[in-house]
Chains A and B, each alone.
Chain A
Amino acid sequence: MIDSNAHLTHRGLTGIRGPLVFVRKTGNVGLNHRVEVVTGDGETRLGRVVAIDQDQVVVETFQGTDGLALGKSGVRFLDEPIMLDVGKGMLGRVFNGVGEPLDGGPAINPDKRMRIDGSSINPVRREPPTEFIETGFSAIDALNSLVRGQKLPVFSGSGLDHNRLATHIARYARLPGQDEDNFAVVFGAIGVTYEVADQFRREMEDFGALERIVLYLNLASDPSAERLLTPRMALTAAEYLAYEEDRHVLVILTDITNYCEALREVSASHGEIPSRKGYPGYMYSDLASLYERAGRIIGRKGSITQVPILTMPNDDLTHPIPDLSGYITEGQIVLDRDLQRRNIFPPIKLLPSLSRLMSDGIGEGLTDPDHPAQAQQLYAIYAQAHRIRLLSSVVGEEGLSDIDRKILQCGQQMDTRFIQQQNKRRDLAETMAIGWQLLSSLPDEALSRLSDAQIARHIIPLRDA
């Protein structure tokens, strides 16, 4: 990494602590600017200026401080923030966590250099997302619809099938009835094992979609501070693909939990006052600087849709990582161990799952006019069935009223007939047909979310049949 405007190597290292390097103060450093840390034998590593003190500059290094020595190593302060070279031919390539090619190919011939931190989109220039994306999964399409420009994370747990879900979404997600050629997938692996990254690559290869994806890999064995850069590299590439090449980009980031662990590690070495569970107080803002890069911009053709994956420590939905994410993202898809044990795929736990942008993307003129009412009704029945199941575990099924028994049955069938689909893709029409079928087993009084007209249109013909 040789840069024409690189300054002379500065040898005033005064201390090294964890990923931080302390350098004697010099005038010509800018906050957040790029730093090259030069080891004794001339190797350079990437860093950035994180604070400027009374008499020293604090540099955060992303590629480890092993082997650095106070006397022999030096730093070069550069005149710009960390940038990524972007240009044609990024699709189909594999890069490491700091954006260097891993596939033996040449470096990208840059059209542009973009700041990896991105900038906040001016809210008045945002195009509100309204285009429904059909993922092929009933539990998502009918009940937690994804729209273009949304950020909809998967809250999972270790050992659950989130990667399989993500690859299927990456492959099958499209506008209903269209198979476009301007979609792209950016996959950012953050601290995952080689196997996970490789499996994603192979599955996309099986789908014949390898030329549509870009991979940024920070593996579990790579330095943890580097994880702070990887999602930013991936998102910067996505912004180039979306806004310069007019593509609809799906960004899959896995695993955000590893990112947050790295954030905590670096924060601790700064000696910052921690908030919950030792995570830094600014974790909300920091995560927002990633998630908020999803969206659409008025007058630009492309879009960025994010499906970040995070594994909830101990399957705990109130842990700071899923909790803060849930406050920023536009909903969440929660996976469930119980459903997975029952071999239901995708193992989506309906009750805590939610898509906030769903109401803007479905209904009259967008999907099906009765889509919102059906979703409301299915959810209400599923929640009632859940409550009745608890009740019947105490009083026994005989203690239930007739209508309660029917609701319970309908709820159980939602697991086995609606959520369950293994690898078979369903379009929205098929999904909704199953939905009406399930609801038709119930009497009118249980269907208070449907209007009389909706019952006449969808339910009565099925009951008669």
Chain B
Amino acid sequence: MNKATLFWINGPVVKARPSAGFAMKEAARIGEAKLAAEVIRLEHDAVTLQVYEDTTGLRPGVKVVGEGAPLTVELGPGLLGKMFDGVQRPLDKMAEAHGDYVTTGVHISGLDRDRNWTFAPAIVAGTRLCGGGVLGVVQETPALEHKILLPPQLRGKITWIANAGEFTVEEPIARITDEQGVEHPVTMMQRWPTRTPRPFAKRLRTERPLITGQRVLDTFFPAAKGGVCALPGGFGAGKTILQQTIAKWCDADIIIYIGCGERGNEMAAVLREFPELDDPRTGRKLLERTIIIANTSNMPVAARESSIYTGITMAEYYRDQGLHVALVADSMSRWAEALREISGRLEELPAEEGYPSYLPSRLAEFTERAGYVHTLENEEGSLTVITAISPPGGDFSEPVTAHTRRFVKSLWALDTARAQARFYPAIHPLDSYSEYAAQLAPWWRKKGGLRWEARRDRMIQLLQEQARLERLIRIVGRDALPAVERGLLVCADVLVEGFLRQSAFSEQDRYCPPEKQAAMLGVIDQLLDSVEQAVNSGMDPDKLIGLPILRRLKRMGDDIENTNLTALETLSQDLERTISELSND
């Protein structure tokens, strides 16, 4: 083991010497408290480390001990339903051992060493297996059967496999002899360096949507499984609520929720709420499919930098089991600030706004870990990354937002004006986009009928037209608009209030299934047709204002049960009848 002596301390960054023997990204321990640290720079006479814990009280002269390996996360059964800090220390265990506050020098491993898991083998001795092959399964939670995989770097012949039974994550459950004839014991736990992507067989083109149950997203700006989406918005625009809503209702098998430099009370609320909410697909509790990484804003800054890597490595591990994983990171701006703080203390030459010049490449490295893949076992799995961005002053031209835009294909721009009017989700339909819409259209045609695409395009045009007309009204007044355009405005209002608006707190409307979304889209399409026809045959569109049917349309998300698609048909028929009666008057 390499040893060095500390001589320079500046916040979370420290230097020690001699540097001989240390490697970049090597994990290390500092002092008697054994603070966790990582090598971030090597010079001929000094090794620079970032420390993942509070450095208060650290003195020059203490020993730094290298661990000879990079910082890793522990992967295996026992991750689901847990909350970890940025370097995978389980926060519940930490509280049991050290009380109400996060303390330093805590050494609790990520996976519980004492817990027994019921392992059931899937192969017999003598089987030849490659890395990523399935050795057996463990029922990790009632909602999830966890596949125990051979670590990716191993291949060879299984010489022994355990019978079904109870094992801890450290007990061998198999032995494998590799091509050189060396035998390796295999446990249910594997370690993986956080900054190295886990391997897969092949990247696939993504053609399946990640359904979030949010109409404005699924219908207008869809996320694809394996895709990358970003969610920029000023404070109070509703990023966190939207991220949490997605984490709750999206149709992924596993959710990794990373609170990166965010509020403690929010993490507590997630932890309080998720065990009580039912997963709409499995009927089990949401927490059973969720892992939370919490490194709140007042926890050490280097661990914040590390938290997103800890999270995404876990996400890849479940993806490798042939699962669909969604990773929600709130917020990447706090991660970038952590990067900036460390960089500043290293006295690196800053690029834009003090951020280091490697910010965009780090961002790209992270988002590229998303994807829809064939796993090493040739199963389909995906990792979708959804990141929130907190641009200073709500200015989307700042470096983190600007660089993120280069690497994402779906951008959900949050609009402060909408949020201030308590219009949620406050997604600006004209500033947002999704490049996945075209490749997901075949899926939607199957769910929502052949005209789905045409309807969607029509609605986006309607919103564009609405923006134009509203600008015009500010100059000439509403009465000066021709009847056709006044009719369009009535329809646009229904689209905005009845379709785009959706309350995260409504029992009914917080999740809108795709079938209902498509049917609602159909109702509004019908409204456009009827109004257009009526106006063309001479009806004054102002007669529509105040019609009770419009109020029913605006509340259809909330008032009509999610499974009751016939009610939407009835609504559509009532609508047609009312308007034709009106135009015949």
Contact = CB atoms under 8 A, between A and B. Distances in A.
Contacts of B546: 403, 443, 445
Given A51-B10, A285-B341, A354-B236, A124 B59 contact: no
Contacts of B476: 395
B265 A129 contact: yes
A451 B558 contact: yes
B431 interface: no
Contacts of A53: 8
Contacts of A444: 548, 551
A327 B235 contact: yes
B516 to A, nearest CB: 19
Contact of B265 (A273, A357, A399): A357
A108 to B, nearest CB: 23
A401 interface: yes
A275 B505 contact: no
B296 A123 contact: yes
A428 B271 CA distance: 30
Interface stretch (B96-104, B375-383, B440-448, B461-469): B96-104
Contact of A379 (B59, B272, B421): B421
A281 B340 contact: yes
B59 A288 contact: no
B498 to A, nearest CB: 8
Contacts of B350: 273
A401 B100 contact: no
Interface string B366-405: 0000000000000000000000001011110000000000
Nearest to A444: B551
B55 interface: yes
Given A32-B56, A380-B422, A380-B423, A126 B61 contact: no
A29 interface: yes
A30 B31 CA distance: 12
Contacts of A288: 261, 296-298
Contacts of A31: 9, 11, 55-59
Contacts of A30: 56-59
Interface in A190-247: none
A273 B349 CA distance: 9
B215 to A, nearest CB: 16
B394 A120 contact: no
Contacts of B261: 284-285, 288
Nearest to A288: B297
Interface in B529-557: 542, 545-548, 550-551, 554-555
Contacts of A376: 422, 503
A344 B103 CA distance: 48
B475 interface: yes
A445 B102 CA distance: 52
A27 interface: yes
B178 interface: no
Interface residues of B, number: 81
A423 interface: no
A328 interface: yes
B353 interface: yes
Nearest to A274: B354
Contacts of B475: 394
Interface stretch (B72-80, B87-95, B221-229, B310-318): B87-95
> Which interface class (under 10, 10 to 19, 20 to 34, 35 or more) fits A?
35 or more
Contact of B421 (A29, A298, A323, A383): A383
Nearest to B354: A275
Given A394-B475, A448-B551, A281 B354 contact: yes
Contacts of A399: 477-479
A359 B264 CA distance: 17
Interface in A281-320: 281-282, 284-285, 288-289, 292-295, 297-298, 300, 318-320
A356 B516 CA distance: 30
A346 interface: no
A28 B57 CA distance: 10
Interface in B550-577: 550-551, 554-555, 558-559
Nearest to A294: B265
A292 B95 contact: no
B7 A54 contact: yes
Contacts, number: 220
Contacts of B353: 275-276
A30 B341 CA distance: 21
Nearest to A328: B297
A119 B479 contact: no
A51 B9 contact: yes
Interface string B94-126: 110001111100000000000000000000000
A359 to B, nearest CB: 6
Contacts of A150: 265
Interface in B426-446: none
Contacts of B236: 326, 331-332, 352, 354, 356
Contacts of B411: none
A25 interface: yes
Nearest to A383: B421
A123 B419 CA distance: 27
Nearest to A396: B477
Contacts of B83: 123-124
B554 A27 contact: no
A126 B298 contact: no
A124 B91 contact: yes
Contacts of A29: 59-60
Given A126-B265, A128-B269, A120 B102 contact: yes
Contact of A121 (B264, B344, B547, B550): B264
Contacts of A282: 11, 301, 337, 341, 344
A351 B421 contact: yes
B319 interface: no
A445 B261 CA distance: 43
A122 B94 contact: yes
Interface string B258-279: 0101011101110110000000
Contacts of B231: none
A272 interface: yes
A104 B395 CA distance: 50
B100 A297 contact: yes
Interface in B1-32: 7-11
Nearest to B547: A445
B337 A281 contact: yes
Interface string A387-400: 00011001100010
Contacts of A261: none
Question: Chain B CB within 10 Å — which of A285, A331, A391, A395 has the most?
Answer: A285
A117 interface: yes
27 contacts: A28-B59, A31-B56, A52-B8, A119-B102, A120-B264, A121-B264, A122-B100, A125-B101, A126-B268, A150-B265, A273-B344, A273-B354, A282-B11, A284-B297, A285-B261, A288-B297, A288-B298, A328-B297, A359-B505, A391-B473, A391-B474, A394-B474, A399-B477, A401-B478, A445-B548, A448-B497, A448-B551
Interface of A: 25, 27-33, 51-54, 81, 117, 119-129, 149-150, 272-276, 281-282, 284-285, 288-289, 292-295, 297-298, 300, 318-320, 323-324, 326-328, 330-332, 351-352, 354, 356-357, 359-360, 372, 375-376, 379-380, 382-384, 390-391, 394-395, 399, 401, 403, 443-445, 448, 451
Given A285-B301, A354-B236, 18 more contacts: A123-B91, A124-B91, A125-B100, A126-B267, A275-B353, A295-B264, A297-B100, A318-B393, A323-B234, A326-B235, A330-B265, A356-B236, A383-B420, A395-B477, A443-B546, A445-B546, A445-B548, A448-B497
- List 6 A-B pairs, minimum CB-CB distance, nearest first: A383-B421, A318-B393, A288-B297, A326-B235, A126-B268, A119-B101
Interface of B: 7-11, 55-61, 83, 91-92, 94-95, 99-103, 234-236, 240, 259, 261, 263-265, 267-269, 271-272, 294, 296-299, 301, 334, 337, 340-341, 344, 350, 353-354, 390, 392-395, 419-423, 473-479, 497, 503, 505, 542, 545-548, 550-551, 554-555, 558-559
